[in-house]
Amino acid sequence: MLKIIKVIFFSFLFSFHAVLISEEYSTIVQGNDEDVSELLRKALNQSILKVLGSQRDFNLNQKTFKKLNPDNYVKEYKFIKNGNDEALEVMIDLKVLQQKLLKLNLGISFLKNPKVAAWVFCKSDFSSLQAAKSLEQKCKFAKKELNNIANERGITLIYPILDSKDISLFSLENNSEIESLTIFNDRYPSDGWFFCEISSVSEWCFLPKEIDKKLSRLDTETRYKPAVGFNILVDNLYSKQRLKPEYQSNQPYYVEISGLNKFIEHKNLEKKLQDILFISDLSLLSLRNNSATYSFYLLSEEKNLIDYFNEIDKLNYISKEKRKVFLAFGDK
């Protein structure tokens, strides 16, 4: 059975508004007796989950993803040694994959290398040596499951230790209500957190009521199995920085850029247009009088395009008409 060994995520090039240019990234997979085509398929699925940022969307669109040809998204692959085993390193064309998911009317996330604090409390059971060892194995299995999900989804998982500073008005050994638990997660550098209580008879995890806050009471009305709760939390974190599609490919969009006094200026700006994730079929319509006019299809809302242009040095917004924007290159 295939085992994902690790994922290496190359850095994204983005700012708050223009999280729209990206590089490829590679994933290293290792399996037992799978052929190359199967490994490439699983590497693609791994990549899709990372780009979507949503386990729910990934599960709902399995039939669609099975129709995607890995050859269209794999730039290259090579056999490598991973310890004593042979593995396959697969380089994914991230931009092409992102564009495809947008065309499928699916949102994509740009949250970079999030960190999650997993507060895992293993409730002691000293009724017998066998019970104590059984609980220890149960806790190890739960953490292993969380670690596997973290590796698959590009998450750095932190395991803080519950101590007197992290617990207020809560007696873990006396079956007190979990509603009384206050976790001071602000001491740990993380983007999100959750709490799990594992005992000899159950294993439940709870999410904070306010996921984006470091200090929050737990939502005790809903409890999850560790894998389910962790995936829901990660989906919520990725959704905070998510480009939602607005598919408009049936109508062309235009941009006119004036003030291009040098040919190199035109080529540099053209490269920036080509790197925009949410446009397709870029075409130069005219280049005269120090101005360039392009047409393309816009795969997201117009605001994303305007925000992107505002991030480019020396490119100034002038005005816009219906499905056309006018820009000027140069110092203000």
* Within-domain flag for 246: no
pLDDT in tens, 189-220: 788 889 898 888 888 999 988 877 777 778 88
The rounded distance, in Å, linking the Cα atoms of 135 and 124 is 8
Residues 209 and 317 in one domain: no
Backbone angles phi, psi at 313, to 5 degrees: -60, 135
pTM (whole model) above 0.75: no
Give per-residue pLDDT as tens, 133-144: 888 889 999 999
The sheet that has 203-206: what strands, in order across it?
156-158, 115-122, 192-198, 203-206
Whether residues 67 and 157 fall in one domain? no
61 and 140 share a domain?
Answer: no
- Mean pLDDT score across all residues of the chain: 79
The answer to whether residues 133 and 235 belong to one domain is yes
- Say yes or no to pLDDT of 102 above 90: no
Q: What is the pLDDT of residues 11-20, one digit of tens each?
A: 222 332 334 4
Domain limits for position 50: 3-109
Write the pLDDT tens digit of every residue in 55-88.
889 999 999 999 999 999 999 988 887 667 778 8
To the nearest whole percent, how much of the chain has pLDDT over 90?
A: 20
* Selected residue with higher pLDDT from 6 and 123: 123
Residue 204: give its domain's CATH number. Answer: 3.40.50
User: Residue 274's domain is classified under what CATH number?
Assistant: 3.30.70
Q: Assess whether 121 and 100 both reside in one domain.
A: no
Q: Are 121 and 59 contained in the same domain?
A: no
The pLDDT, as a whole number, for residue 171 is 42
Select from 46, 79, 109 the last residue of a domain: 109
- Tell me, yes or no, whether 247 lies in a domain: no
Say what the pLDDT of residue 249 is. 57
Average pLDDT over residues 158-177: 54
- Report the alpha-carbon distance of residue 275 to residue 293 in Å, rounded: 17
Single out the residue in 109, 135, 158 at which a domain terminates.
109
Listing DSSP states for 133-164 in one string gives: HHHHHHHHHHHHHHHHHHHHHT-EEE-PPP-T
Percent of the chain surpassing pLDDT 70: 80
Among candidate residues 79, 109, 139, the one where a domain is terminated: 109
**Residue predicted with more confidence, 33 or 295:** 295
Give CA–CA dist 311/330, Å, rounded.
14
Residue 104 is predicted with a pLDDT of 85
Largest CA distance in the chain: 87
Provide the number of structural domains found in the chain: 3
Q: What pLDDT shows up at residue 2?
A: 31
Strand arrangement of the beta sheet that strand 279-288 belongs to: 279-288, 291-298, 252-258, 324-329, 315-321
